[in-house]
């Protein structure tokens, strides 16, 4: 049945999450935007509220599954939930104690033992290096098996939650000369000798969330901390491709989530803009002709249309995951559209609200700074376009670089 609509139960989830965003996140938004690098202790309230609701077996925000990223086929539910949280504040959402992108990786590629052991820990994800961003096959951090331990050496940058997490999923190569086929991910616990946090970035936006540089200097971890994949590099081309594909599969799962963040932020900017405009007598005029609309009515309707389009793409990609359909193309479509539209909307809203938009009296300027990262991390706009283009045009990565 063609029914791209949310059932009442999910609408209830939306409302619960929106309330949490409005009453827990919004009041401390500005505080932690200013106080960069200070852990937002109030976020514990959110976890406590969640735990209390979980005890009542409520299917709203109380559900623990979003915290552990163990979604059990409820990706659409998760996207809708975090969309509302990010309506409140993306930076704070990312700084919520307990959940990181590493958790998604553990759930996507970990074996049952690993999921049990680490699934509910706070795991961040360390991929990017000073000389390897989007081309993760160029990773230079090494992992060498020595007896029953792996020795990790290298530097990781831009690790979200890298300072505050319990453990990190680190991408490293078994043999740099072998390219992407030799890349594996490893779980490194905080406090492991040889693992240190070197610095925290000062950033354009999402300042509530910490972004760390991590150093691994002869860091020894147990052999069983290899997440999925084989201990040796596959020589068979197909097996090797499959191995890297497994690691990349994490992104098919996380892209709808990050795209959902951009949708929530875009909606927040539009809502706040309309609230400011309403004070000066503004009313919408949907469906009217160009001659009948003011420039602001026209702009806002177009932005609404773009946001709704992005939202439906993202919901579809999550729905496909829930129904076990391969969604690599759709996940990238949603991320590409949501990333650019979230950014466009938030910047346009600052323009529409003029000096009030530009002012720190309101959060519009913050939204416009926060939004930029959503079109960069979890794959930039251009990486998403590349993934979509390769699939639509049926091209290999060697043909379409």
Residues near other proteins (CB under 8 A) are 1-8, 10-11, 14-15, 18, 76, 286-289, 291-292, 301-302, 304-306, 308-310, 312-313, 315-316, 319, 330, 333, 336-337, 382, 385-386, 388-390, 392-395, 399-401
DSSP per position, 124-177: EEE--BTTBSS-GGG---EEEEETTEEEEEEEEEEEETTTT-SEEEEEEES-GG
Q: How far is CA 21 from the centre of its chain?
A: 17
Phi-psi region of 72 (alpha: psi -120 to 50; beta: other; left: phi over 0): left
Q: How far is the CB of 242 from other proteins (least distance, A)?
A: 25
* Whole-angstrom distance, CA of residue 225 vs CA of residue 278: 55
Contact between residue 303 and residue 263 where contact means Cβ atoms under 8 Å apart:
no
Please state the closest distance from residue 308 (CB atom) to other proteins, in A.
5
Q: Least distance in Å: CB of 65 to other proteins? A: 18
Shortest distance, position 63 Cβ to other proteins, whole Å = 17
Which CB, 50 or 336, lies closer to other proteins?
336
Nearer of residues 233 and 303 to other proteins, judged by Cβ: 303
Q: What's the gap between Cα 111 and its chain centre?
A: 23
Report the residue number, 99 or 327, with the smaller CB distance to other proteins: 327
Can you list the positions of beta strands (E) in 234-368?
A: none
- Whose tokens are 């439906």? That residue is 312
Work out how close the CB of 58 gets to other proteins at its nearest, in angstroms, rounded to a whole number: 18
Distance in Å, CB of 47 to other proteins, minimum: 24
Task: Pick the closer one to other proteins by CB: 223 or 395.
Answer: 395
Q: How far is the CB of 136 from other proteins (least distance, A)?
A: 19
Task: Dig out the tokens for 253 from the structure.
Answer: 């799962």
Q: Which is nearer to other proteins, 185 or 297 (CB)?
A: 297
**CA-CA distance, 39 to 318, in Å (whole number)?**
30
Can you tell me the distance from the alpha carbon of 209 to that of 160, in angstroms, rounded to the nearest whole number?
7
- Token pair for 63: 């559900």
CB 84, CB 106: distance < 8 Å: no
Nearer Cβ to other proteins, position 168 or 336?
Answer: 336
Among 137, 101, 312, which residue's Cα sits nearest to residue 211?
101
User: Is the CB of 144 or the CB of 302 nearer to other proteins?
Assistant: 302
């Amino acid at each position: 049945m063609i029914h791209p609509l949310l059932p009442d139960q999910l609408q209830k989830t939306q409302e619960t999450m929106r309330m949490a965003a409005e009453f827990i996140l919004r009041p401390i938004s500005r505080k932690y935007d200013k106080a960069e690098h200070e852990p937002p202790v109030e976020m514990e309230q959110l976890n406590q509220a969640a735990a209390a609701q979980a005890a009542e077996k409520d299917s709203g925000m109380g559900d623990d599954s979003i915290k552990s990223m163990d979604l059990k086929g409820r990706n659409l539910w998760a996207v809708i939930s975090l969309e509302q949280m990010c309506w409140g504040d993306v930076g704070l959402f990312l700084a919520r104690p307990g959940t990181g992108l590493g958790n998604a990786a553990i759930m996507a590629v970990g074996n049952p033992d690993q999921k049990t052991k680490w699934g509910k820990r706070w795991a961040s994800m360390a991929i990017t290096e000073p000389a390897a961003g989007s081309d993760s096959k160029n990773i230079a951090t090494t992992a060498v098996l020595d007896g029953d331990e792996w020795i990790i050496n290298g530097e990781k940058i831009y690790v979200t939650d890298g300072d505050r997490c319990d453990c990190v999923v680190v991408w490293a190569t078994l043999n740099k000369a072998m390219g992407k086929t030799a890349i594996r991910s490893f779980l490194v616990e905080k406090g492991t000798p040889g693992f240190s946090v070197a610095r925290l970035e000062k950033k354009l936006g999402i300042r509530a969330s910490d972004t760390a540089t991590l150093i691994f200097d002869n860091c020894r971890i147990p052999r069983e901390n290899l997440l999925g994949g084989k201990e040796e590099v596959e020589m068979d081309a197909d097996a090797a491709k499959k191995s890297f594909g497994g690691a990349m599969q994490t992104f098919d799962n996380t892209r709808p989530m990050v795209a959902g963040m951009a949708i929530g932020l875009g909606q927040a900017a539009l809502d706040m803009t309309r609230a400011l405009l309403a004070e000066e007598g503004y009313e919408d005029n949907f469906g009217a002709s160009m001659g009948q609309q003011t420039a602001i009515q026209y702009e806002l309707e177009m932005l609404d249309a773009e946001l709704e389009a992005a939202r439906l793409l993202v919901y579809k990609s999550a729905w496909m995951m829930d129904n076990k359909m391969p969604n690599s193309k759709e996940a990238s479509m949603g991320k590409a559209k949501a990333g650019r539209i979230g950014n466009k909307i938030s910047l346009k809203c600052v323009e529409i609200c003029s000096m009030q938009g530009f002012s720190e009296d309101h959060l519009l300027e913050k939204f416009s700074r926060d939004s930029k990262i959503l079109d960069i991390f979890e794959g930039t706009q251009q990486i998403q376009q590349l993934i979509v283009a390769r699939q639509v045009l049926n091209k290999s990565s060697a043909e379409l670089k």
